[in-house]
Amino acid sequence: MRIERHFTKANTSVYDSIAFKKVDVGMKNPDGSKVFELSGVEVPEQWSQVASDVLAQKYFRKAGVAARLKKVEENSVPSWLWRKIPDEDALAKLPETERFVGEASSQQVFDRLAGAWTYWGWKGGYFDTEDDAKTFFDEMRYALAMQLAAPNSPQWFNTGLHWAYGIDGPSQGHYYVDPDTGKVTKSKSSYERPQPHACFIQSVSDDLVNEGGIMNLWEREARLFKYGSGTGSNFSDLRGGGEKLSGGGKSSGLMSFLKIGDRAAGAIKSGGTTRRAAKMCVVDIDHPDIRDFINWKVLEEQKVAALVTGSKLCRKHLADIMAACQIGESESRFSPSDNPALKKAVIAARKLMIPENYVQRIIQFAKQGYTKLDFPEYDTDWDSEAYLTVSGQNSNNSVRVTNEFLEAVAGDKAWHLLRRTDNKVSETTSARELWEEIAYAAWACADPGLQYDTTINEWHTCPESGRIRASNPCSEYMFLDDTACNLASINLLKFRGTSDVFDIKAFEHACRLWTVVLEISVAMAQFPSKEIAKLSYEFRTLGLGYANIGGLLMATGIGYDSDQGRATAGAISAIMTGVSYATSAEMAKELGAFDGYEINKSAMMRVMKNHRRAALGETAGYEELSILPVPLDVANCADKALVKAAKKAWDTAIMLGEQYGFRNAQATCIAPTGTIGLVMDCDTTGIEPDFAIVKFKKLAGGGYFKIINQQVPEALKTLGYTSKQIAAIDAYAVGHGERCPRCQSCGLTRQRF
């Protein structure tokens, strides 16, 4: 492929055009204790303290980086792209404590990511010439440094550690497809081929211990969580509670196994200790145990409320009983009938239903000479002991509903729950009752979510290869079981020109390059199971998306919840998706379409053409859709250049796709961009609006100060406000730091503030 320069210049160091600074970084727990700190970290000048902290704490390799490295010659690779290993002779001359260090500069991270992508791209034949490879390397380093875009977290964790530093270790049970033989091969190294994919969908069969079964799934999940990835599974094949087992007896049911998986995920976390495990549990609406699944987290939340309230009440009243037992010196002080204070404390405890055995135990405890009681209090912090005690806290839960079920709800009809062993009716219930339970549970604890099975599969590019049954943890990736998707998000606000005009050319260039990055990542990856390695190689699904649409709309003076805002977002989405599929077709011309393309060609082209119709704003003519999409609102898109670019992108994608097919079965999705959104200094993540007009800015030396959202002054300027008016609005929103004369402290205290 030919790679053109847009952000960089040939024969010039990328970093010469970027100013850098050194900052001290650190993170603290809510109680003030230090989690991490590092001095003199080099980051680009425009990076905020938060972005610097996140990069250093989350994504720096903190150990195992040799202080002296040497290149490993490869005849088929340009010398500037040779990988490196520790230089043992040079290391031996250093003090032992100085031989291995951690990353300390953002440039090291940018180089290892872009370098690894370029290295594997070269080996995979993605570049026409060496100059194209150099251009790609430079453009990607610039994009990372200038926060134009970012890959998903597992790329930051794993990619390039072997290429840049020679970091390696024994195989962790991963597999990859050898491109020369086309065969699934077991990895011999833990890092030579990284695990760059964030999103996995894994199958699970109704089998306890064999490969592909329930207990095997926990092992496969652990392999993913260790390297910072997330996974989702549809558990609907597991038999319901009370269904017969082949060896006699009855099944303990779906929920008993989900609770085991939840505990395992909570123990491992994602990426070791950097974040909570990312996991999705999906169950079909006709499963016999669907009610238990719907209400699982509702009951667990109630347990937390009981633990928190009960612990506080127990601590208070048991302490009162203990204190009353210290009044006086005779043995009678331990008798409620003889000690009025103890009697009062016991009655108060019993009124609040403090367990009687605890009341008596405290009195006995006091008789033995103890004067204090250690009874822990719990709180509702999501990472507290209370939440660690209950189940269901390590996954997102979703119910899979069909059009048939929704029609039953609308018509107030009966709904059958089906046994998994023989597909016969286990129970007949009201569809509306189930719907009400889902709605109540979502209100009570924000789970379960819904996945619309019929619509999802009508937009499926590869239906001949199987149905879509599940998603990754955040539901942006939906495809076949036992496949994976690696993500990247483009920071839209970086493409807003000085005159409020969206830089379409730069955005299209970024979409093309990052599609190539994600495709190369498929080629270089290793996977947690044979089946995932095989299918991910065959279908090569990608997840290019964007972040900061809320920030872009605000800065441009467009309301997020407006027809104009939705039209702008729709047009940008259409450009990104069209360019990405056009790039996929371009790669198919050079490298061939994905292996599953031919048998799915008709379906995929139908889906592509439906996308094109929506991008052109058409309201009719869609093929094989039960529910029509909301098309691009051309009339309300203020920037007509976006509309024109969307049409061009999809015209090109269809034209190239019909000629060459596509390299990837899927190309785009909108991810939440949580941690990588912070690294890019995004005001808003994914497609969300900004959550606040006023925020707290973290200071380098510790502490915070209150600031206006940085896009608010831009928005006001765009809307025609004067500098004086903007300053006044800023001051009003942030506050003047002065006490209001009508709100004195004593008055607030009387009102229980």
As a 3-state breakdown, the chain gives helix, strand, coil percent values, each rounded to 5, of 45, 15, 40
Backbone angles phi, psi at 151, to 5 degrees: -80, 170
Which is nearest to 226 in space by CA: 253, 250, 201, 191? 191
DSSP 105: B
Residue 311 CB-density burial (10 A; 0-12 exposed, 13-18 middle, 19+ buried):
middle
Q: What is the largest CA-CA distance in the chain?
A: 98
Strands (E), 169-250: 175-177, 184-186, 199-201, 230-234
C-alpha–C-alpha distance, residues 302 and 380, integer Å:
11
CA 624 remoteness from chain centre: 32
The residues annotated with a catalytic role in the active site are 472, 474, 476
Q: How far apart are CA 457 and CA 467, in angstroms?
A: 7
Distance CA(442)–CA(450), nearest Å, equals 10
Number of Cβ within a 10 Å radius of residue 371? 10
Give bridge partners of residue 486 from the DSSP assignment. 542
User: Which amino acid belongs to residue 189?
Assistant: S
Residue written as token pair 């979703």:
398
d(CA 118, CA 121) in angstroms, rounded, equals 5
Helix (H) or strand (E) holding 564: helix 563-591
Angstrom distance (rounded) from CA 288 to CA 380: 32
Residues in Cβ contact with 222 at an 8 Å cutoff, skipping those fewer than 6 apart: 264, 268
Quote the CA–CA distance of 11 and 687 in Å, as a whole number.
38
